[in-house]
Amino acid sequence: MDPDDGGMKHCPRPTEILSLLTAALGAALGAQSAPAPAARDAAKLPANIVPLEAAWPRFADDGEGRIWAGGAGYKAGFDRDGVCFVPFFGSEAPRNLPVEFQAERVRVAGKELALVSVAPQREGARISFARKGCVEFYDVETDGIEQQFRFDVLPERGELVVDVRVAAPEYGIEHDGEGFVFRSGDSSFRYGRAFAIDALGRSLALTTARSANGFSITVPAAFVAEAALPLVIDPLIGNASSLRSSTRTMRATDLAFDDSLGEYRVTYESVFSATDTDVFLVRADAAMQPIGSELTVDLSSASWDHARIAGLAAHDRFLVVAAVRNVGSTSTRIASRLVSGGATPSLGASVFLSAVQSPSDVSELNPDVGGAIESDLPRFAVVWESDFGSTDHDLFAVVVDENGALISAAPQVVATTSFLEHHPVISNCDGRGAAAARRWAVAFRRDVVENGTANLRVCFLDKDASQAIPSGSANYAVGPSVPASTPAEWSVSSPTDPGQGRSVLIAARRQNNVTNRSEIALYAVSSGGNTFSTSTIDSVGGFANWNLGAPAVDTDGCRFAVAFERLYAAAPLDRDQHVVTIAAGSAGLVVQDDASLATSFDDESGLALVAARSGGSTLPDYAASWIHTPSSGNRNVVGIRYRGTGSGVTQDRATGCGGLSLTMSGIPALGQNVTMTLSGGSGSQGFLVGLPISVPIPICAGCTLGVDGNAFLEPGQIILQVPCDPAFVGGILAFQGFAVGSGTCLGSIALSNTLDVVVN
The residues, any chain, with a CB within 8 Å of residue 309's CB and separated by 6 or more, are 254, 255, 256, 265, 266, 267, 281, 318, 319, 320, 321, 339, 369
Length of the chain: 760
Q: Comparing 16-25, 101-110, 239-248, 349-358, which segment has the lowest mean pLDDT?
A: 16-25
User: Could you say which DSSP state residue 683 is in?
Assistant: S
Give the pLDDT of residue 84: 95
- Tell me the residue range of the domain where 286 lies: 248-643
Together in a domain, 320 and 235: no
499: which DSSP letter?
Answer: G
Q: Please tell me what DSSP assigns to residue 556.
A: S
Quickly state the pLDDT bin for 647 (edges 50, 70, 90): low
Count CB-CB contacts under 10 A for residue 649. 11
**Rounded CA separation 502/433 (Å):** 10
User: For residue 240, what pLDDT is reported?
Assistant: 64
The predicted model gives 362-382 an average pLDDT of: 95
Higher pLDDT, 660 or 27: 660
504-542 pLDDT per residue, tens: 999 999 998 888 899 999 999 988 888 888 999 876 667
Q: Based on the domain organization, do 103 and 84 belong to the same domain? A: yes
Burial class for 250, CB neighbours closer than 10 Å (0-12, 13-18, 19+) = buried
Instruction: Name which of 686, 732, 694, 730 is nearest 710 in CA terms.
Output: 686
Residue 297 lies in a domain: yes
E strands along 244-315, which residues?
A: 249-258, 263-273, 276-285, 290-298, 303-312
Q: Does residue 299 belong to any structural domain of this protein? A: yes
**Lowest-pLDDT choice from 161-165, 471-475, 660-664:** 471-475
Query: Do 318 and 264 share a structural domain?
Result: yes
Question: String of b and e for 6-43 (b: at least 16 CB within 10 Å)?
Answer: bbeeebbbbeebbebbeebbeeebebeebeebeeeeee
d(CA 639, CA 50): 5
What pLDDT is stored for residue 201 in this prediction? Answer: 95
Least confident of 155-164, 431-440, 470-479, 588-597: 470-479
Average pLDDT over residues 563-572: 92
Highest mean pLDDT of the ranges 102-106, 542-546, 743-747: 102-106
Q: What is the pLDDT of residue 722?
A: 86
Query: Which has the higher per-residue pLDDT, 307 or 471?
Result: 307
Q: Verify cis geometry, omega within 30 degrees of 0, for the bond prior to 698.
A: no
* Residue finishing a domain among 643, 677, 694: 643
CB within 8 A of 520, min separation 6: which ones?
507, 508, 509, 536, 537, 538, 548, 549, 551, 562, 564
Both 388 and 271 in one domain: the answer is yes
H/E stretch holding 747: none
Query: Tens of pLDDT along 221-246?
Result: 999 999 999 999 998 887 666 555 56
Residue 27 in this model has a pLDDT that exceeds 70: no
- Dihedral sign computed on CA atoms, order 316, 321, 327, 328: positive
Q: What percent of the chain has pLDDT over 70?
A: 90
Q: In the prediction, which pLDDT does 65 show?
A: 79
* C-alpha separations of 460 from 260, 469, 478, 637 in Å: 27, 6, 13, 32
Q: How many domains does the chain have?
A: 3
Mean pLDDT of 648-670: 89
Query: Count of CB atoms within 10 A of residue 517's CB?
Result: 16
d(CA 490, CA 551): 6
Residue 28, classed as helix, strand or coil, is: coil
Last residue of a domain, one of 602, 618, 643: 643
**Is the pLDDT assigned to residue 702 strictly greater than 90?**
no
Assess whether 375 and 227 both reside in one domain: no
Q: How far apart are CA 702 and CA 751, in angstroms?
A: 10
Q: Is 64 inside a domain boundary?
A: no
Residues 665 and 693 in one domain: yes
**Segment among 158-162, 232-236, 304-308 with least mean pLDDT:** 232-236
Closest CA to 650 of 642, 662, 636: 662
CATH code for the domain of 741 = 2.60.40
Mean residue pLDDT of the chain comes to: 87
Contact 755, 734 (CB under 8 A): yes
pLDDT at 43 over 60: no
- Contact between 383 and 422 under an 8 Å Cβ cutoff? The reply is no
For residues 625 and 670, membership in a common domain is answered with no
Instruction: Count other C-beta atoms under 10 Å from residue 138's C-beta.
Output: 25
Same-domain status, 610 and 654: no
Is 389 found in the same domain as 371? yes
Burial letters for 164-186: b for 16+ Cβ neighbours within 10 Å, e otherwise? bbbebeebeeeeeeebbbbebee
Within-domain flag for 307: yes
DSSP of 393-452 = EEEEEEEEETTS-B--SSPEEEE-SSSEEEEEEE-SB--SS-GGG--EEEEEEEEETTTT
Q: Note the pLDDT tens digit of each residue in 617-641.
A: 999 999 999 999 887 767 889 999 9
**Statement to judge: residues 703 and 563 lie in one domain:** no
Q: Which of 304, 245, 250 is nearest to 92 (CA)?
A: 245
pLDDT for the residue numbered 321 = 97
CATH classification at residue 391: 2.120.10.10
Q: Domain end: 242, 277, 298, which one?
A: 242
Residue 550 DSSP SS3: strand
SS3 of residue 54 by DSSP: coil
Note the pLDDT of residue 48: 60
* pLDDT band, residue 648 (cuts 50/70/90): low
Q: What is the pLDDT of residue 37?
A: 56
pLDDT at position 445 over 90: yes
pLDDT (0 to 100) of residue 680: 87
In a domain, 40, yes or no: no
Q: Give residue 520's pLDDT.
A: 94
Q: In terms of domains, do 608 and 737 share one? A: no
Same domain for 263 and 226? no
pLDDT band at 650 (very low <50, low <70, confident <90, very high): confident
